[in-house]
Structure 1
């Protein structure tokens, strides 16, 4: 029996982004801020008897829950990053949570749209002054949360040397948290506009109109997040630029790619399986080393086949 040590051939399966810990910390801060605001509004609502404050506090609770799940995903992914049960690591945990959050945002958008449509038919009496103060308070909290998450959302991606301008390198867990606070901030801004128009111009219909606008924008964000996270979860093909990049690195005058698979296994991290055909093949490690300058390709498997009937030019070479 062959007893050679196979450890040198093993791959590292920790495919979390370099910004993982920073993203987790920022998300925890936002959870704490949102939860504190939730408690203040619920207590104030019970103390003053204000249903508006109480309702907004309960609404904050749903966002605190969603953000809490995002924070948990960071913890879980790091804790189990080297667990062999996860074949390609836990880099997709954030995408799974991002997909679930996108569904919640979609439900949120549908609920706003339905409620807004009903208010066109059956307008409600609005306590403008109280509602404006609540909206302003919520806006301040959500802007602070967006600022906490926004720095990493815009700059914390793992860009490769070509700086692909797509969401393939994004941390979708962070995106989902960011979209949640943006959605809440947007509804606060639209509510303030509608309330001021209703208070000073008598345009009560603006409340419902702004609700529909908010539902549309949040729906667009939800669809974007659903599309991107679903693509990662079902191992959709990477963008064509990556295929071109890998092909140009692996192919030469003698070797040609017969089969190539590239898919995302973590934020900014990709697996590559390539089958090469060559007239005078070299060792697989030689071809794999050609991708070593591309840090995003973290799990590369190369198989090489000898071409029995190479092109005459290749034989001459």
Structure 2
């Protein structure tokens, strides 16, 4: 009777969280704490001083704190259940699910800002320029600090053994959970900058109409960010093919001329991690191990299944 090889030699896990998962989780928690702290200060100060501007900004910041909290919770959940066998390909896409939810929240925020701005354009209200400007400046400071905390986890790049990639397919390569947190901070910073410009114009030039106009501009920009994030995270959740990785796999397998791919599936299973099922036909007895060796330079492939016919 033939002796079977030890199965331990072929054992592998399905933990596809990304190399920066823990660092990104810590960064996000710091930003949640910073945002929530500022939110509490503004709401308490608003009640004590009777300032509606402070209260409004405090509750507005609460929406961002909630979205950032979802991002932090996603990191924790993905880590805790990374080895849970209930998830066939691990929990690497939990961050994309959180990113999709955050994109929807951003879209609702953009809609709310847009509607309120249009109403104020036709029905102007009295604005306490001095108080509102101070609030906007403080909020901008918090957002700059938050962006600084998150920036290290947002940018990345890769080199692959002679295959250089800038990864223009970034949405399929990077951490969309971190991206969603970063966009929330940028959106809040944008509204603060536009608000400061509008408030100064209103106070010193009498351009009261600038406030709602800047609100509309901010709503349009945030809506575009929201759509981009929603589109990219949805494609990951629906297992859309990353054509850059697919083309590289096809090139490496077929270039020697002794094998052809008859069926190929490539999808993302986590940040910078993809799975692939490759069906190959060859008239020269090319083995699965040879195909695996050819695909070794494709570092994005964290889980590879090869079928030779």
> Same fold judged by TM-score > 0.5?
yes
Other-structure match for 2:164: 162
Q: Deviations over 1:246-291 (max 9, x none)?
A: 1122223221111111111111101111110001223212211222
User: For 1:185 and 1:176, how far apart are their aligned partners in 2?
Assistant: 14
RMSD: 1.7
TM-score by length of 1: 0.92
1:29 aligns with 2:30: yes
Other-structure match for 1:204: 208
Change (3 A) 1:68 1:7: same
Change (3 A) 1:196 1:294: same
User: For 2:225 and 2:73, how far apart are their aligned partners in 1?
Assistant: 22
Other-structure match for 1:20: 21
Q: Please state how far the C-alpha of 1:3 moved relative to its aligned partner.
A: 9.8
* Residue 194 (structure 1) aligned to one of 191, 198, 223: 198
Other-structure match for 1:308: none
Unaligned ranges ≥5, structure 1: 306-317
User: For 1:231 and 1:3, how far apart are their aligned partners in 2?
Assistant: 45
> Per the alignment, in what secondary structure is the counterpart of residue 295 of structure 2?
coil
User: For 2:68 and 2:257, how far apart are their aligned partners in 1?
Assistant: 52
Structure 1 stretches of 4+ moved >3 Å: 1-11, 157-161
Q: Check conservation: 1:17, 1:158, Cα contact below 8 A.
A: no
Q: Please state how far the C-alpha of 1:158 moved relative to its aligned partner.
A: 5.7
Q: Check conservation: 1:18, 1:158, Cα contact below 8 A.
A: no
> Per the alignment, in what secondary structure is the counterpart of residue 64 of structure 2?
helix
Other-structure match for 1:56: 57
User: For 1:40 and 1:159, how far apart are their aligned partners in 2?
Assistant: 45
Other-structure match for 2:42: 41
Change (3 A) 1:205 1:3: farther
Change (3 A) 1:3 1:112: farther
User: For 1:243 and 1:138, how far apart are their aligned partners in 2?
Assistant: 44
TM-score by length of 2: 0.94
Q: Deviations over 1:45-100 (max 9, x none)?
A: 11111111112111111111111110111111111111111111111000000000
Q: Check conservation: 1:158, 1:169, Cα contact below 8 A.
A: no
User: For 1:282 and 1:11, how far apart are their aligned partners in 2?
Assistant: 24
* Residue 179 (structure 2) aligned to one of 175, 180, 186: 175
Other-structure match for 2:250: 247
